[in-house]
Chains A and B, each alone.
Chain A
């Protein structure tokens, strides 16, 4: 055998071992025997879960054969790594975003989603299933900025418009109430929501990078993936904001609980694998902080944009009858 063939076969065995480690199987002794590795297809039929790489031509892109669906014994790593082709996507991700950051094409890679993909991600954010990692299942190294940006924009207008409408309905019978569109609140809502959706992921990403340098974590997220998760987790607040028009305190607080439960659990389940290798207290503190900030956002928006429903009506004896009729009907 020539030197090139020996080195290529060594590399193939090496990748086979790595593949076995990732899938969690014990590397049995007979797996390491020198089988005939001449054909990637035959080696895969013998070991369907292996990952093989063809090294014949250095200029060739590595070809991966996706493995068959794995058994139930590897759910733990399933939730971390998703599918077999996660390493393929990681290898290919380096080839995807190769344009320099000042070109238009660089930013186009962040909008490389189809309609059904956006819908799937939204559906995934509404139904957080324990054990399924949102990032690995739906985002898979293709984070998009379309979802976070337009979900935040819709949320800003949903909160401002619903708040305005709800205040109008609450004060409808009052004689001294004059309807105003409260346009200033749109800019305030925009500042709050966009600051939350972009600065909190930045802080979280920085924190995770810092912890990663101290404790080796298996799972680490890129900044855009964190922005993506936060953006899609805010989607539940859009119908919640619309339903907050109902002027009942109990209904509003039940809605807060439901929305916080869904989006909070989505965030917690996404970030738990990233911190659980760490010190127990640090991990718990991180998750609690994430959920607490989320709760602060929702309760703060409810308190600021929506007036309390059972407000006492102001005394009407001071206003003249003509003025009150005109004011009440000027909507």
Chain B
């Protein structure tokens, strides 16, 4: 995957080759599987492969930093990847799932339910944005929405730590405050990337579903009760 670059460009223009991106992702995965299955025949030296992995990890990490300090930049848009969103979604779903002992009662969401909500919600918002006439590509939008879950994942971690302490109204107020702050952060971060891709007279129509999406995720985080 390409390294993230900082050069300014035209914000919001669709990447010209999203299909090529998908195929390069698939070929990368295939290459990984093939080299894993044939340990004796390695065309690259271990040092080169490690360098490539470090470069990919650095790209993902750089995008995390962009989400945490959102400013107008094209990095997330032009060099999209779905590793970050996948990692964040899996982490969030693992932390949010209820214990198997409670599966009969009407409780919190299962792992698969969180996964489906995040990805189905992101796809719906992307389709909505494209139908309204936005000029962002499908995978770019998925990438942005997935990466902007990072503040809410941090909120989930903090909530789990806070829940280890004494339960009570103070406990709840702390969690409420943390979730509200992270929710606002997610909205600001994703709007900074997505708002420019819409025509100005429809910006509110495109941003409202993003608000609803992060609100539902925040609600799931806030109402999480350990068994």
Residues of A that sit less than 8 Å from B by CB: 104, 107-108, 110-111, 113-116, 118, 146, 149-150, 153-154, 157, 161, 164, 179-185, 326, 329-331
Of A111, A185, A330, the residue contacting B106 (CB under 8 A) is A185
Contact B107 A113 (CB under 8 A): no
Interchain nearest-CB distance for A118 vs B (Å): 6
Of A110, A114, A153, A183, the residue contacting B108 (CB under 8 A) is A183
Contact B167 A157 (CB under 8 A): no
Chain B contact residues, majority secondary structure: helix
Q: Does B177 contact A (CB under 8 A)?
A: no
Interchain nearest-CB distance for B112 vs A (Å): 12
Interface mask (B188-227 → A, CB under 8 Å = 1, otherwise 0): 0000000000000111110011001001100110011100
Q: How far does the alpha carbon of A270 sit from the alpha carbon of B224 in the complex, in Å?
A: 44
Residues of B contacting A108 with CB < 8 Å?
131, 133
Contact A157 B225 (CB under 8 A): no
Contact B225 A181 (CB under 8 A): yes
Q: Does B132 contact A (CB under 8 A)?
A: yes
Chain A residue at minimum C-beta to C-beta distance from B167: A329
If the complex has contacts A181-B224, A183-B113, are A118 and B205 also in contact, measured as CB distance less than 8 A? yes
Interchain nearest-CB distance for B60 vs A (Å): 30
Count B-side interface residues using an 8 Å CB cutoff: 29
Chain B residue at minimum C-beta to C-beta distance from A328: B167
Contact A115 B204 (CB under 8 A): yes
24 contacts between A and B (CB under 8 A): A107-B131, A108-B131, A108-B133, A111-B128, A114-B201, A115-B204, A150-B128, A150-B208, A150-B209, A153-B212, A164-B223, A180-B108, A181-B107, A181-B220, A181-B224, A182-B107, A183-B107, A183-B108, A184-B106, A329-B168, A330-B167, A330-B225, A331-B172, A331-B225
Chain A residue at minimum C-beta to C-beta distance from B205: A115
Q: How far does the alpha carbon of A111 sit from the alpha carbon of B108 in the complex, in Å?
A: 35
Nearest first, the 7 closest Cβ-Cβ pairs linking A and B are: A111-B131, A181-B223, A114-B201, A115-B204, A329-B167, A183-B109, A180-B107
Chain B residue at minimum C-beta to C-beta distance from A108: B131
Residues of B contacting A329 with CB < 8 Å?
167-168
Chain B residue at minimum C-beta to C-beta distance from A110: B131
Residues of B contacting A180 with CB < 8 Å?
105-108, 225
Residues of A contacting B172 with CB < 8 Å?
331
Interchain nearest-CB distance for B58 vs A (Å): 36
If the complex has contacts A108-B131, A108-B133, A146-B132, are A179 and B212 also in contact, measured as CB distance less than 8 A? no
Chain B residue at minimum C-beta to C-beta distance from A182: B106
